[in-house]
């Protein structure tokens, strides 16, 4: 069996790691294509190194641009790559522009497409990611769903026959990295300059929180006014937008610093008093680490984290302040995101159905 994985943005490198290891263990040929959507070493190279993936086999180097320019550049370049490799499967991940470009290119070359993390829905049609995931699900031949909620969405859209529930590969990698971080020496990895259990860890990068200056100012003020130190791991988008609008990311309780490598991020989240984020992945990582999460969005795809009490949606300054100081949620051993063996199931399904 030959699989070509297409990735381009930070969360996809994390999901790629368990798939790559499972493919190797099963003796499956696995070709990795990096579109170049994320090109900063801190958003890209360190993930390949720390998660033991090695270098991508093909790098398209498309870089930044408007959605149309970025997606179009990927489409053009991927045609040639797929035509050369002619894999049994093209595997696409999540909801980025790299995902939809790869799915569209492959289906038109009649190469079977599998979508990992299929069936997630925010039902917010202003999010570029929502269009990317809906279009990809309807184009793909095999829908690898992480949760029962995702399976239910796909069923309602008439896609049940193409759907398989495999669990969430982010659980695989989180469990693995959490255990590695717990065993590592005190001087290994990069640590935050903040006292354990005494700070909130924050990430903000979504267009809806960063692109409008008034909204970005509101979010930054909310973080700066919290009752403990807040460490913001600043994505290039938020740094660029803050600079453009003259918004200071270091004031009051808030300090900003560059993003962390994945193992260091997990260590920093586990040692925090809470996470404040608009990232998809971090909401789930906080839940799996049993760290309370506050999500700065009006909806979430990961509804299980909210239902179980470990995640609260908050948007205004008052809502965010109330959410981070809420009482610790009730302990739970619910496992909506699988058992940490999703990637093995993905490789088994792709091998059986080629």
**Which residues would be at the binding site for ligand UD1 (CB under 6 A)?**
9-11, 37-40, 43, 64, 95-97, 128-129, 205, 235-237
Minimum CB distance to ligand UD1 smaller for 11 or for 56:
11
**At its nearest, how many Å lie between ligand UD1 and the CB of residue 173?**
16
Closest CA to 102 of 57, 147, 70: 70
Q: Which is nearer to ligand UD1, 22 or 276 (CB)?
A: 276
- Euclidean distance between CA atoms 259 and 218, whole angstroms: 22
Residue 299 CB, shortest distance to ligand UD1, in Å, is 15
Tell me the three state secondary structure of residue 207: helix
> To the nearest whole angstrom, how small is the minimum distance from the Cβ of residue 201 to ligand UD1?
16
The region, left, alpha or beta by phi > 0 then psi within -120 to 50, assigned to residue 278 is alpha
Q: Which is nearer to ligand UD1, 64 or 148 (CB)?
A: 64
DSSP string, 329-347: PPP----TT-SS-HHHHHH
Q: Which is nearer to ligand UD1, 277 or 294 (CB)?
A: 277
Q: Which of 205, 235, 245, 341 is catalytic?
A: 205
Q: Which is nearer to ligand UD1, 15 or 38 (CB)?
A: 38
DSSP 23-75: HHHTT-EEEEEE--SS-STTTTHHHHHHTT----SEE-------HHHHHHHHH
* Closest distance to ligand UD1 from the beta carbon of 236 (Å): 3
Closest CA to 208 of 237, 177, 249, 251: 237
The distance of closest approach from Cβ of residue 117 to ligand UD1 in the complex, given in angstroms and rounded to an integer, is 11
On whether the CB atoms of residues 104 and 19 are closer than 8 A, the answer is no
Distance between CA atoms of residues 272 and 354, nearest Å: 44
CB of 37 to ligand UD1, least distance (A): 5
Q: Which two tokens stand for residue 73?
A: 């550049």
Contact 88, 43 (CB under 8 A): no
48 vs 226, beta carbon nearer ligand UD1: 48
How far apart CA 130 and CA 112 sit, in angstroms, is 22
Smallest gap from Cβ 97 to ligand UD1, in A, equals 4
Confirm whether 245 is a catalytic residue: no
**Which ranges of the chain would DSSP assign to H, the alpha helix?**
10-25, 45-50, 67-85, 97-108, 128-139, 148-156, 169-183, 207-210, 213-224, 236-244, 262-270, 280-289, 303-307, 317-324, 342-352
Which is nearer to ligand UD1, 63 or 354 (by Cβ)? 63
* Unique residue bearing structure tokens 């033991």: 52
Q: Report CA-CA distances (Å) from 75 to 60, 80, 185, 218.
A: 10, 9, 44, 37
Active-site residues, by number, are 205
């Amino acid at each position: 069996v030959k699989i070509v994985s297409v990735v381009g943005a930070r969360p996809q490198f994390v999901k790629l790691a368990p798939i790559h290891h499972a493919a190797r263990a099963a003796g499956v040929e696995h070709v990795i294509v990096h579109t170049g959507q994320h090109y900063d070493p801190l958003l890209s190279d360190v993930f390949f190194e720390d998660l033991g993936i090695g270098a991508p086999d093909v790098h398209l180097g498309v870089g930044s641009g408007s959605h149309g320019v970025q997606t179009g550049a990927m489409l053009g370049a991927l045609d040639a790559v797929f035509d050369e490799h002619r894999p049994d499967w093209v595997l696409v991940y999540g909801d980025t522009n790299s995902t939809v470009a790869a799915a569209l290119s492959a289906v038109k070359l009649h190469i079977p497409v599998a979508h990992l993390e299929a069936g997630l829905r925010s039902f917010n049609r202003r999010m570029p990611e929502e269009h990317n995931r809906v279009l990809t699900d309807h184009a793909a031949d095999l829908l690898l769903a992480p949760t029962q909620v995702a399976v239910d969405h796909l069923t309602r859209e008439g896609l049940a026959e193409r759907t398989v529930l495999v669990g969430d590969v982010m659980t695989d990698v989180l469990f693995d990295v959490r255990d590695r971080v717990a065993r590592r020496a005190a001087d290994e990895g990069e640590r935050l300059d903040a006292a354990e259990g005494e700070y909130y860890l924050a990430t903000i990068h979504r267009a809806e929180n960063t692109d409008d200056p008034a909204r970005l100012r509101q979010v930054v003020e909310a973080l700066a006014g919290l009752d403990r130190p807040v460490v913001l791991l600043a994505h290039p988008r938020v740094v660029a937008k803050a600079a453009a609008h003259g918004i200071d990311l270091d004031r009051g309780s808030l300090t900003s610093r560059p993003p962390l490598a994945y193992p260091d991020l997990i260590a920093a989240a586990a040692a925090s008093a809470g996470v404040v984020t608009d990232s998809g992945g971090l909401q789930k990582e906080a839940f799996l680490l049993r760290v309370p999460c506050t999500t700065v969005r009006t909806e979430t795809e990961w509804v299980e984290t909210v239902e179980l009490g470990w995640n609260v949606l908050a948007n205004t300054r008052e809502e965010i302040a109330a959410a981070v100081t809420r009482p610790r949620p009730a302990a739970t051993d619910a496992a909506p995101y699988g058992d940490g063996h999703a990637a093995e199931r993905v490789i088994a399904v792709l091998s059986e159905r080629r």
